[in-house]
Amino acid sequence: MKRYVILISGRGSNMESLLDASLPGECVAVISNKPDAAGLASAAARGIPTVAIDHKQFASREDFDAALAAEIDGYAPDLVLLAGFMRILTDGFVRRYEGRLLNIHPSLLPLFPGVKTHAQALAAGVRLHGCTVHFVTPALDGGPIIAQAAVPVLARDNEVTLAARVLIEEHALYPRVAQWYLEGRLRLDGGRAVLDGEAPAAGALHVPAPD
């Protein structure tokens, strides 16, 4: 059975959606760069080993990433899932896990990389917003796209309501992609995400009925 590690920084709702999805793999650790991340407690409650590595205790980004990589490697994972992990990773770290490092980002990339994606979407006036799961490369939020889910932007939306609608889709999309990887169907090949077999249509575009 393939082994995976989840990296978080906060609430951990995407982590919970992965842990509760009965994925065909074993979550061998949840690691946070913030000792007070709420997700650590909910991972521990599910019997998953948890570790906090406080980035503030390290003099440089390189030092933190080296400690993080040493911890991860101790679990010998096949897959590393960033789930609300709010740290920019060094190129060296990203390259070490190339092809087995995934992230979920709350926008339809390449639109709105970075932070405050829902505010960016509202300011731009887009009518569709959503989330993206991608392989991580050194380009911030710029790695090969694996899957996306879209939601409508409603006239009365604010950042909170839009974020909530996107989050529902995040929780459906990330476990689906993780499952593909753990089944050996998904790989990074020549700078593109390649999926063996068909993805269900719902995996490519999911627009729920507006409430």
Enzyme catalytic residues: 105
The sign of the dihedral angle between the CA atoms of 5, 11, 16, 17 is negative
Beta bridge partner(s), residue 150: 130
Nearer residue to ligand GRF within complex by CB, 19 or 104: 104
Cα diameter, the chain = 49
Q: Which of residues 11-70 bind ligand GRF (CB under 6 A)?
A: 11-14
| Spatial separation of the C-alpha atoms in residues 154 and 162, rounded to whole Å | 8
Burial of 42 (0-12, 13-18, 19+ CB in 10 A): buried
| Residue choice 10, 143, 175, 203 for contact with ligand GRF (CB under 6 A) | 10
Residue 196: CB minimum distance to ligand GRF, A: 26
| Residue choice 64, 170, 178, 206 for contact with ligand GRF (CB under 6 A) | 170
Residue 24: CB minimum distance to ligand GRF, A: 21
Task: Determine the 3-state secondary structure of 163 from DSSP.
Answer: helix
Q: Which of residues 149-168 bind ligand GRF (CB under 6 A)?
A: 167
| Residue choice 18, 23, 101, 104 for contact with ligand GRF (CB under 6 A) | 104
Nearer residue to ligand GRF within complex by CB, 83 or 121: 83
- Note whether 130 binds ligand GRF by CB under 6 A: no
Measuring CA to CA, how many Å separate 49 from each of 2, 17, 30, 174? 16, 17, 6, 21
- Note whether 175 binds ligand GRF by CB under 6 A: no
Nearer residue to ligand GRF within complex by CB, 12 or 175: 12
| Spatial separation of the C-alpha atoms in residues 2 and 167, rounded to whole Å | 26
Nearer residue to ligand GRF within complex by CB, 36 or 73: 36
| Spatial separation of the C-alpha atoms in residues 140 and 90, rounded to whole Å | 10
| Spatial separation of the C-alpha atoms in residues 136 and 143, rounded to whole Å | 5
Nearer residue to ligand GRF within complex by CB, 25 or 39: 39
| Residue choice 30, 53, 72, 83 for contact with ligand GRF (CB under 6 A) | 83
Contacting residues toward ligand GRF, per CB under 6 A: 8, 10-14, 83-84, 104-106, 167, 170
